[in-house]
Chain A
Amino acid sequence: MQGDAALATEGLTIRFGGHVAVNNVTCSFRPGTLTAIVGPNGAGKTTYFNLISGQLRASAGRVLLNGRDVTREGAAARTQAGIGRAFQLTNLFPELSVRENIRLAVQARHRRGLNLLSMAESHGDLIAEADGYLEAVSMAHRADATVALLPHGDQRKLEVGLLLALEPEVMMFDEPTAGMSVDEVPVILDLIARIRAEGKRTVLLVEHKMDVVRSLADRIVVLHNGYLVADGDPAEVIASPIVQEAYLGVGASQHV
């Protein structure tokens, strides 16, 4: 199973002083599948993401991308290698325009950042590409707006747009619809569903809404107190007693 995995973690662990936020998590993700990572608040989902995409360095264990050990590489190198990440807390370039945010991601993917003596505006291909991603997250009408002045929902869409623009092999969404209004949520969910249907990317999705998880995921992984406590087919995992107890708790079953 490890052999054909796009992404795998082996005994991945991080300690903050005495607290072990992610504890010996071994898990692999097959290419073209969508895995939902669920668990209560503080279970270590975002920390696990940070360890995979390189924002945090592991205390122990390894991260493998197509079998290659990237544990010692920084976030920039891992992104270049194909691990793309959208953040739970909106994390953009606030004083730049919407289009420029996306254009920067496109430019980074094409590695044209060290070009000092041409005008950025003369790289029309990058701008055209950026506009394509703005369409994809239905933000084209706000292309010239300054990001800091956008409503929260639009910033969330842009956050997803940045990830798309990187065209990464592994796409990690951390609660992409959190804080979005009801009519904005489908834009992003449809997008993720399309990415999954194309089957070209390995998608990791942290999401709280169980109906979303059930409809999108090929597989569910449950984290609890930093441990991986369940892993398998969505229907089975949701029905398993350990999840009912650990994640959903008493009285939450009607929500499922």
Chain B
Amino acid sequence: MVRWLLSGDYPRGLALNLGIAAIVLALLFAPFLFPGTRALNTAATICIFIVLVASYDLLLGYTGIVSFAHTMFYGIGAYGVAILLQRYGASWGAVFAGLGFGLAVSVLLAFVIGLFSLRVKAIFFAMVTLAVASAFAILASQLSGLTGGEDGLTYRVPRMLTPAFRLMDEQLLGVTMNGRIIAYYLVFVVSAVAFLVMMRIVNSPFGRVLASIRENAFRAEALGVRTVVYRSLASCLAAGFATLAGALMALWLRYTGPDVTLSFTIMVDILLMVVIGGMGTMYGAIVGAAAFILAQNYLKDLMGHMAEATAGIPVLPDLLHPDRWLLWLGLLFILSVYFFPTGIVGRLRKSRQA
């Protein structure tokens, strides 16, 4: 059963098993373990980013394709749901129609980009994705009638997912069972299923072919593999999962704007999460997303406490001032890339065998 769920791809290594289990259990019981809006928001963001990062790793780590258009597909999913919810009111029909519409647009776009540019050099593909993604971001901010422009869209989600909805009157383990809890578990379950499906894909015959293309596309061709077909398909799949992540984010945030979906900052964040977690390992997405988003959300607080604790001592409180959090975040990344070039997961699981 576990083997079937994980597609025979275990974390491997005691530290990794424990770490992954801890993160998954923390996310599973997040509403009860870490009550409060902010904590729940962080947990939901981690869930969604695990899907987003894993789908990017499908391209970067497994197939060896560098794309800068991943946030575009993420944005298409978010805007698809947002636009339909805003226009046609808070119904599940609008959510599914938005997701379906987003998926269709994303997969079509990914296919067209792939068809035109995956045959040629990798750098050319990367540049094309960058250009298309930039054009799309500008388009989204210009078509303000449809997308709300720079302000984005605020909309209502199905009532079942709102704080006003009560699942039961009593509290459970001290937590009010309102629609936000349902929304969180919707995000959690969909993310978990999407992650497990991606695990299956990378461990399938198809996934193995992707790995062979990453290793040596020339030789893969000589084995009779039409690499452009596989690359295009991988690109479409990754786009589809990113779209799903975007739709989940739109549902969770009840707001969609260029800064939370299409911005290049998010693209860089995704890249960092893949690299920190470990390229070419699905578990890397879990570790990378959890570590990065926790740091992003709580490093500031931690530094505030440390600055207070070191008050009196010269220089240190200034260095630890919460405003310097980006400096420390940057330092943490440099150190982690330097010491774990294969990512945290790559470091903890040594797979090469002589």
Contacts and interface: CB of A to CB of B under 8 A. Distances in A.
* B204, B221, B353: residue with the most chain A Cβ atoms closer than 10 Å: B204
B124 interface: no
A53 B219 CA distance: 12
> Which residue, A117, A123, A149, has most C-beta atoms of chain B within 10 A?
A117
A216 B32 CA distance: 75
B208 A100 contact: yes
B354 A107 contact: no
Interface stretch (A8-16, A30-38, A86-94): A86-94
A187 to B, nearest CB: 21
A92 B204 contact: no
Contact of A117 (B201, B225, B230): B201
B225 A119 contact: no
B201 A75 contact: no
Interface in A84-117: 85, 87, 91-97, 100, 103-105, 107-109, 112-117
Interface stretch (B181-189, B210-218, B290-298): B210-218
A145 interface: yes
B2 interface: no
Given A96-B211, A117-B201, A145 B224 contact: no
Contact of A91 (B205, B211, B222): B222
A79 B351 CA distance: 31
A219 B130 CA distance: 55
B41 interface: no
Contacts of B140: none
A239 to B, nearest CB: 36
Kindly name the residue among A112, A120, A123, A146 whose own CB sees the greatest number of chain B CB atoms within 10 A. Answer: A120
B206 A114 contact: yes
A115 B353 contact: no
B222 A117 contact: no
Contact of A120 (B207, B215, B227): B207
Interface string A144-184: 11101100000000000010001000000000000000000
B204 A76 contact: no
B96 to A, nearest CB: 22
Interface residues of A, number: 42
Contact of B223 (A55, A105, A144): A105
Contacts of B233: 114
Given A53-B222, A76-B227, A109-B224, A93 B215 contact: yes
B203 interface: yes
A118 interface: yes
B91 interface: no
A149 B352 contact: yes
A119 B7 contact: yes
A76 B351 CA distance: 30
Given A94-B216, A113-B209, A166 B224 contact: yes
B205 A79 contact: no
B224 A94 contact: no
Interface in B206-262: 206-209, 211-212, 215-216, 218-227, 230, 233
Contacts of B218: 55, 91
Contact of B201 (A74, A76, A95, A116): A116
B200 interface: yes
Contact of B224 (A79, A93, A95, A117): A79
Contacts of B225: 76, 108, 113
Contacts of A123: 205
B163 interface: no
B341 interface: no
B204 A104 contact: no
A130 to B, nearest CB: 12
B8 interface: yes
Contacts of A87: 219, 222
A144 B233 CA distance: 29
Interface string A212-251: 0000000000000000000000000000000000000000
A150 to B, nearest CB: 8
Interface string B127-170: 00000000000000000000000000000000000000000000
A85 B211 CA distance: 21
A118 B205 contact: yes
Contacts of A117: 200-201, 204
Contacts of A100: 208
A115 B226 CA distance: 15
A107 B205 contact: yes
Contacts of B212: 93, 96, 104
B205 A85 contact: no
A59 interface: no
A121 B3 CA distance: 11
A76 B224 contact: yes
Given A93-B215, A146-B352, A146-B354, 20 more contacts: A76-B226, A77-B226, A93-B216, A96-B212, A97-B353, A100-B208, A104-B208, A107-B209, A113-B205, A113-B206, A115-B205, A118-B204, A119-B7, A120-B207, A121-B203, A144-B353, A149-B352, A149-B353, A162-B219, A162-B223
Interface of B: 7-8, 200-201, 203-209, 211-212, 215-216, 218-227, 230, 233, 351-354
20 contacts: A76-B224, A76-B225, A79-B223, A85-B222, A87-B219, A91-B216, A92-B219, A93-B220, A104-B209, A104-B220, A107-B208, A113-B209, A113-B225, A114-B233, A116-B204, A144-B353, A146-B351, A146-B352, A146-B354, A162-B223
Interface of A: 53, 55, 74-77, 79-80, 85, 87, 91-97, 100, 103-105, 107-109, 112-121, 123, 144-146, 148-149, 162, 166
